[in-house]
Protein backbone atom coordinates (compact mmCIF):
# COMPACT_ATOMS: atom_id res chain seq x y z
CA UNK A 1 0.00 0.00 0.00
CA UNK A 2 1.35 3.40 -0.98
CA UNK A 3 1.75 5.90 1.84
CA UNK A 4 -0.43 8.99 1.45
CA UNK A 5 1.30 12.31 2.05
CA UNK A 6 -1.18 14.91 3.22
CA UNK A 7 -1.20 18.22 1.36
CA UNK A 8 -2.74 20.98 3.52
CA UNK A 9 -4.71 23.64 1.72
CA UNK A 10 -7.42 26.26 1.54
CA UNK A 11 -10.85 25.68 0.06
CA UNK A 12 -12.40 28.94 -1.14
CA UNK A 13 -16.00 29.48 -2.16
CA UNK A 14 -17.53 32.70 -3.42
CA UNK A 15 -21.21 33.04 -4.09
CA UNK A 16 -23.55 35.28 -6.04
CA UNK A 17 -27.29 35.08 -5.53
CA UNK A 18 -29.58 34.39 -8.44
CA UNK A 19 -32.65 36.61 -8.94
CA UNK A 20 -35.03 37.44 -7.31
CA UNK A 21 -32.42 38.60 -4.79
CA UNK A 22 -34.72 39.47 -1.89
CA UNK A 23 -36.16 35.94 -1.90
CA UNK A 24 -32.95 34.03 -2.62
CA UNK A 25 -30.94 36.01 -0.03
CA UNK A 26 -33.19 34.85 2.77
CA UNK A 27 -33.18 31.25 1.54
CA UNK A 28 -29.43 31.12 1.01
CA UNK A 29 -28.52 32.62 4.40
CA UNK A 30 -30.85 30.19 6.21
CA UNK A 31 -29.38 27.33 4.19
CA UNK A 32 -25.82 28.45 4.88
CA UNK A 33 -26.33 28.39 8.65
CA UNK A 34 -27.54 24.80 8.40
CA UNK A 35 -24.80 23.81 5.95
CA UNK A 36 -22.09 25.45 8.06
CA UNK A 37 -23.06 23.26 11.01
CA UNK A 38 -22.95 20.22 8.73
CA UNK A 39 -19.43 21.13 7.54
CA UNK A 40 -18.24 21.64 11.12
CA UNK A 41 -19.67 18.22 12.05
CA UNK A 42 -17.98 16.25 9.26
CA UNK A 43 -15.90 13.38 10.63
CA UNK A 44 -12.18 13.19 10.06
CA UNK A 45 -10.87 10.66 7.56
CA UNK A 46 -8.07 8.55 9.10
CA UNK A 47 -5.86 9.14 6.06
CA UNK A 48 -7.11 12.35 4.41
CA UNK A 49 -7.77 14.44 7.52
CA UNK A 50 -10.58 16.95 7.86
CA UNK A 51 -11.79 20.51 7.49
CA UNK A 52 -10.32 22.23 10.53
CA UNK A 53 -11.74 25.76 10.24
CA UNK A 54 -14.39 27.59 8.28
CA UNK A 55 -14.69 31.35 8.09
CA UNK A 56 -17.53 33.18 6.33
CA UNK A 57 -17.12 36.72 5.05
CA UNK A 58 -20.22 38.78 4.25
CA UNK A 59 -19.81 42.17 2.61
CA UNK A 60 -21.90 45.03 3.99
CA UNK A 61 -25.10 45.61 2.02
CA UNK A 62 -24.19 49.29 1.74
CA UNK A 63 -20.80 48.80 0.05
CA UNK A 64 -21.21 49.45 -3.71
CA UNK A 65 -18.11 47.37 -4.60
CA UNK A 66 -20.03 44.17 -3.84
CA UNK A 67 -23.01 42.75 -5.65
CA UNK A 68 -24.52 39.74 -7.32
CA UNK A 69 -23.82 40.71 -10.91
CA UNK A 70 -20.48 39.92 -12.58
CA UNK A 71 -19.39 43.57 -12.64
CA UNK A 72 -18.89 43.59 -8.85
CA UNK A 73 -17.03 41.54 -6.27
CA UNK A 74 -19.05 38.66 -4.79
CA UNK A 75 -20.57 39.62 -1.43
CA UNK A 76 -20.36 36.12 0.10
CA UNK A 77 -16.98 34.50 0.51
CA UNK A 78 -16.09 31.42 2.54
CA UNK A 79 -12.73 29.95 3.49
CA UNK A 80 -12.14 26.44 4.84
CA UNK A 81 -8.79 25.11 6.05
CA UNK A 82 -8.02 21.53 5.02
CA UNK A 83 -5.49 19.25 6.66
CA UNK A 84 -5.37 17.55 3.23
CA UNK A 85 -6.85 18.77 -0.06
CA UNK A 86 -7.81 15.15 -0.78
CA UNK A 87 -10.45 15.40 1.98
CA UNK A 88 -12.80 16.99 -0.57
CA UNK A 89 -12.94 13.61 -2.33
CA UNK A 90 -13.90 11.60 0.76
CA UNK A 91 -17.33 10.07 1.29
CA UNK A 92 -18.46 12.35 4.12
CA UNK A 93 -17.76 15.53 2.14
CA UNK A 94 -19.03 14.27 -1.21
CA UNK A 95 -22.22 12.83 0.31
CA UNK A 96 -23.07 15.97 2.30
CA UNK A 97 -26.43 17.25 1.11
CA UNK A 98 -26.66 20.33 -1.08
CA UNK A 99 -30.46 20.33 -0.87
CA UNK A 100 -32.03 23.66 0.04
CA UNK A 101 -34.40 22.03 2.51
CA UNK A 102 -31.69 20.65 4.80
CA UNK A 103 -34.30 20.65 7.55
CA UNK A 104 -35.78 17.57 5.83
CA UNK A 105 -32.45 15.71 5.76
CA UNK A 106 -31.58 15.79 9.46
CA UNK A 107 -32.83 16.93 12.85
CA UNK A 108 -32.76 20.64 13.57
CA UNK A 109 -31.08 21.99 16.70
CA UNK A 110 -32.00 25.01 18.79
CA UNK A 111 -31.53 28.26 16.92
CA UNK A 112 -31.70 26.74 13.43
CA UNK A 113 -34.37 27.99 11.03
CA UNK A 114 -35.86 25.92 8.24
CA UNK A 115 -35.26 27.15 4.69
CA UNK A 116 -38.78 26.13 3.71
CA UNK A 117 -38.11 25.55 0.02
CA UNK A 118 -37.39 22.38 -1.92
CA UNK A 119 -34.68 22.17 -4.55
CA UNK A 120 -30.92 22.47 -4.54
CA UNK A 121 -28.80 25.32 -3.22
CA UNK A 122 -27.61 25.96 -6.78
CA UNK A 123 -31.19 26.99 -7.62
CA UNK A 124 -30.64 30.18 -5.57
CA UNK A 125 -26.89 30.81 -5.79
CA UNK A 126 -24.05 30.59 -8.28
CA UNK A 127 -21.03 29.31 -6.37
CA UNK A 128 -17.42 29.24 -7.57
CA UNK A 129 -14.88 26.97 -5.90
CA UNK A 130 -11.09 26.94 -5.71
CA UNK A 131 -8.61 24.79 -3.80
CA UNK A 132 -5.11 26.04 -3.06
CA UNK A 133 -2.57 23.60 -1.74
CA UNK A 134 0.39 24.41 0.44
CA UNK A 135 3.49 23.96 -1.70
CA UNK A 136 6.77 23.10 -0.07
CA UNK A 137 9.36 25.38 -1.63
CA UNK A 138 12.23 23.68 0.14
CA UNK A 139 13.15 26.95 1.84
CA UNK A 140 12.95 26.85 5.58
CA UNK A 141 12.96 29.95 7.73
CA UNK A 142 15.24 29.17 10.63
CA UNK A 143 14.48 32.36 12.55
CA UNK A 144 11.54 34.73 12.53
CA UNK A 145 11.75 37.53 9.95
CA UNK A 146 11.39 39.97 12.82
CA UNK A 147 13.07 40.29 16.17
CA UNK A 148 10.98 40.70 19.31
CA UNK A 149 11.68 43.90 21.20
Q: pTM for this structure?
A: 0.82
CATH, residue 91: 3.30.70.100
Question: Does the residue 80 lie in any domain?
Answer: yes
Domain total of the chain = 1
Contact 124, 20 (CB under 8 A): no
Question: Does the residue 22 lie in any domain?
Answer: yes
Question: Does the residue 141 lie in any domain?
Answer: no
Query: Cα(first)–Cα(last) distance of the chain, in Å?
Result: 50
Question: Does the residue 2 lie in any domain?
Answer: no
Residue 90: name the closest of 34, 47, 135, 53 by CA.
47
29-63: pLDDT as tens digits:
999 999 999 999 999 999 999 999 999 999 998 99
Question: Does the residue 3 lie in any domain?
Answer: no
Question: Does the residue 78 lie in any domain?
Answer: yes
Domain of residue 64, residue span: 9-133
Rounded distance, CA 31 to CA 20, Å? 16
The CA radius of gyration of the chain, in Å to the nearest whole number, is 18
pLDDT confidence of 149, banded at 50, 70, 90? very low
Rounded distance, CA 99 to CA 122, Å? 9
Amino acid sequence: MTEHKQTPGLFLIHCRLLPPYSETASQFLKWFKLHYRDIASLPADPIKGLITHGVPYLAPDTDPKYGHDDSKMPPYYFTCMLTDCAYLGTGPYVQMSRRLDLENTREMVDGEVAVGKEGMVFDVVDARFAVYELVDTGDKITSPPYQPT
